[in-house]
């Protein structure tokens, strides 16, 4: 009995990693749309190839639905093997409370500090000099997706920037299209607003407010212009009676809507629908005005587990997620940019190339998830979804309320 146990231990110790005893690792995430699911399947495949087993714990809805469940399970002492969070501060306190696995050793061994680009991604994972998460992709918000079919139906040219888009809206409306598709969830409203700040107010304005949290700037004329613009834009989104972002995207894909301000993850949906960038749809980074992208994205955290086998599997998964092949395979499907500067995305499509170019030029911003606490984010989201959907709120009132949030933002 004893001997066989020892033997078993030895054999597993000496076996190649691919032959290691299969360990089940439950991975929770909220990637359930078509493109997302296809992308996450790449991670699962790569992890399973390492001899372990990916137990998929997808929670549908959105981050808002999924995060409470994840947090409850981690604080309740029954954590999963790995879990998705957005880049930034969502898991900050969980890390502080010592509930998360320290990945520093692995990161140093694999020299993440050298390969992760931009470096800010890794910074978001770092607390007191220790690394606690694996950034897996770069997502940027600053895109508008335009449907060629919709514009063809309306008999106007596909716009090349935001101003043209607004100008063409009446024609679309006349053709029975919704000019601007927009889901009902609050994070979408806020995202679109943030993008419009950059497009209309400029990058510095954004930085002043979102990084320096300057209340005076939030009350400035510059931002007033943005609010005025949004108050016009919200009329363009009337009639998009959908909740989920991908249903809004679907309106663009099917030509029911002219365009959608949405992050680059929308790309995955176009891909699943077998649409070709430049031919069926057009993407305009920075809404065609200020070409810049934010470097938000998703990261995986690994809650501390008691089972050493599982811990080993966790490190394996972290390593797999950072690996070149997985990065390429995953990000191609997801429509996001890889976190490694040293991979070649030969098969990347038009839109991804645009993103890669901007990234290479260094025109990057942090994501507001990185600069704001979830609380402040949530407050802005509440305000924005109200503002977008309730036309009785004037731009002025909304701006004042916005400024108040910025005053106290953390």
Partner 1 sequence: MLTGKAQDGVMTTQERPNQLFRNISAKIAALPMIATALVVFLGGTLWTIFYSFTNSKLLPRLKFVGLDQYERLWTTNRWLISIENLLIYGVLSLIFSLVIGFVLAALLDQKIRFENTFRTILLYPFALSFVVTGLVWQWVLNPDFGIQKVLRDMGWTSLEFDPLYNPEIVIYGILIAGLWQGTGLIMCLMLAGLRGIDEDIWKAARVDGIPMWKTYLFIIIPMMRGVFITTLVIIASGIVRIYDLVVAQTSGGPGIASEVPAKYVYDAMFTKQNLAQGFAGSTMMLLSVLIILIPWAYLEFGGRKRV
Partner 2 sequence: MSETVLAPVSAGIDGPSGPKPKRRFSRRNIFVYGTLIIVALYYLLPLYVMIVTSLKGMPEIRLGNIFSPPMEITFEPWVKAWAKACTGLNCDGLSRGFWNSVVITVPSVILSIAIASVNGYALANWRFKGADVFFTILIFGAFIPYQVMIYPIVIILREIGLYGKLPGLVLVHTIFGMPILTLLFRNYFTSIPEELFKAARVDGAGFWGIYFKIMLPMSLPIFVVAMILQITGIWNDFLFGVIYTKPDTYPMTVQLNNIVNSVQGVKEYNVNMAATILTGLVPLIVYFVSGKLFVRGIAAGAVKG
Q: Which residues bind partner 2 (CB under 8 A)?
A: 26, 28-29, 31-34, 37, 40-41, 44, 54-61, 65, 68-69, 72-73, 75-78, 80, 244, 246-247, 250, 269, 272-273
Beta pairing class for 178-181 and 53-58: unpaired
Report if residue 176 touches partner 1, rule: CB under 8 A.
Answer: no
Residue 338 phi, psi dihedral angles, 5° rounding: -70, 155
Write down the least CB distance from residue 140 to partner 2, Å. 23
Length of the chain equals 410
Which residues are within 8 A (CB) of 402 and not within 5 positions of it... i.e. 6 or more apart?
218, 223, 227, 380, 383
Report if residue 267 touches partner 1, rule: CB under 8 A.
Answer: no
Of the residues 68, 170, 176, 278, which one makes contact with partner 1 according to CB under 8 A: 68
Write down the least CB distance from residue 173 to partner 2, Å. 22
Measured over the CA atoms of residue 174, residue 180, residue 181 and residue 186, the dihedral's sign is negative
123 φ/ψ sector (left φ>0, alpha ψ -120 to 50, else beta): alpha
Is 57 exposed, middle or buried (CB count within 10 Å of its CB: 0-12, 13-18, 19+)?
Answer: buried
CA distance 133 to 299: 6
Comparison of 355 and 374: residue with beta carbon closer to partner 1: 374
CA distance 9 to 304: 23
Of the residues 33, 90, 168, 231, which one makes contact with partner 1 according to CB under 8 A: 90
Segment (H or E) for 178: strand 178-181
Report if residue 377 touches partner 1, rule: CB under 8 A.
Answer: yes
Write down the least CB distance from residue 322 to partner 1, Å. 26
Comparison of 90 and 147: residue with beta carbon closer to partner 1: 90
Write down the least CB distance from residue 306 to partner 2, Å. 13
Closest to 81 measured CA to CA, from 131, 148, 140, 24? 24
Write down the least CB distance from residue 27 to partner 1, Å. 20
Question: 67 touches which of partner 1, partner 2, none (CB within 5 to 8 A by kind)?
Answer: partner 1
Of the residues 105, 375, 400, 407, which one makes contact with partner 1 according to CB under 8 A: 375
Question: Quick check: 186 and 382 in contact, CB under 8 A?
Answer: yes
255 φ/ψ sector (left φ>0, alpha ψ -120 to 50, else beta): left
Comparison of 68 and 278: residue with beta carbon closer to partner 1: 68
Comparison of 289 and 326: residue with beta carbon closer to partner 2: 326
Write down the least CB distance from residue 382 to partner 2, Å. 17
Question: 355 touches which of partner 2, partner 1, none (CB within 5 to 8 A by kind)?
Answer: none
CA distance 105 to 7: 29
Question: 55 touches which of partner 1, partner 2, none (CB within 5 to 8 A by kind)?
Answer: partner 2
CB atoms within 10 A of CB 48: 13
Gyration radius from the chain CA atoms: 22
Question: 137 touches which of partner 1, partner 2, none (CB within 5 to 8 A by kind)?
Answer: none
Comparison of 88 and 258: residue with beta carbon closer to partner 1: 88
Comparison of 200 and 251: residue with beta carbon closer to partner 1: 251
Q: Among all chains, which residue has been given the structure tokens 């920037």?
A: 161
Six-digit token pair at 104? 């520093």
Report if residue 10 touches partner 1, rule: CB under 8 A.
Answer: no
* Chain residues in the site for partner 1 (CB under 8 A): 63-64, 67-68, 71-72, 75, 90, 92-94, 97, 184-186, 241, 243, 373-375, 377-379, 382-383, 385-390, 401
């Amino acid at each position: 009995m004893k001997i066989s146990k020892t033997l078993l231990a030895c054999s597993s110790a000496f076996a190649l990693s691919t032959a290691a005893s299969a360990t089940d690792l439950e991975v929770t995430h909220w990637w359930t749309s078509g493109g997302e699911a296809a992308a996450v399947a790449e991670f699962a495949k790569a992890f399973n190839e390492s001899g372990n087993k990916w137990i998929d714990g997808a929670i549908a809805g959105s981050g808002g639905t999924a995060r409470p469940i994840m947090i409850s399970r981690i604080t309740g002492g029954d954590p999963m093997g790995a879990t998705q969070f957005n880049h930034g501060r969502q898991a900050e306190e969980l890390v502080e409370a010592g509930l998360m696995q320290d990945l520093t050793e692995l990161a140093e061994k694999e020299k993440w500090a050298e390969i992760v680009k931009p470096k800010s991604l890794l910074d978001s994972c770092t607390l007191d000099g220790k690394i606690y998460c694996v950034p897996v992709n770069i997502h940027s918000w600053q895109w508008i997706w335009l449907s060629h079919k919709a514009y063809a139906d309306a008999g106007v040219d596909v716009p090349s920037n935001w101003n043209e888009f607004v100008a063409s809206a009446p024609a679309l409306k006349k053709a029975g299209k919704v000019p601007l598709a927009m889901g009902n969830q609050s994070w979408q409203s806020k995202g679109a607003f943030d993008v419009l700040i950059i497009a209309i107010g400029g990058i510095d304005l954004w930085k002043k407010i979102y990084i320096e949290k300057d209340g005076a700037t939030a009350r400035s004329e510059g931002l007033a212009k943005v609010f005025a613009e949004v108050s016009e834009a919200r009329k363009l989104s009337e009639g998009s009676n959908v909740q989920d972002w991908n249903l809004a995207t679907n309106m663009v894909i099917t030509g029911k809507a002219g365009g959608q301000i949405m992050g680059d993850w929308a790309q995955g949906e176009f891909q699943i629908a077998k649409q070709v960038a430049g031919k069926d749809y057009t993407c305009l980074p920075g809404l065609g005005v200020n070409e810049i992208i934010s470097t938000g994205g998703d990261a995986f955290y690994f809650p501390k587990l008691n089972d050493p086998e599982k811990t080993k599997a966790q490190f394996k998964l972290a390593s797999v997620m950072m690996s070149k092949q997985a990065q390429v395979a995953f990000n191609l499907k997801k429509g996001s940019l890889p976190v490694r500067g040293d991979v070649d995305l030969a098969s990347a499509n038009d839109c991804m190339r645009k993103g890669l170019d901007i990234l290479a030029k260094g025109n990057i911003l942090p994501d507001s998830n990185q600069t704001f606490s979830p609380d402040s984010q949530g407050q802005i989201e509440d305000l924005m979804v109200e503002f977008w959907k309730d036309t009785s709120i004037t731009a002025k009132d909304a701006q004042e309320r916005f400024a108040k949030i910025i005053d106290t933002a953390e």
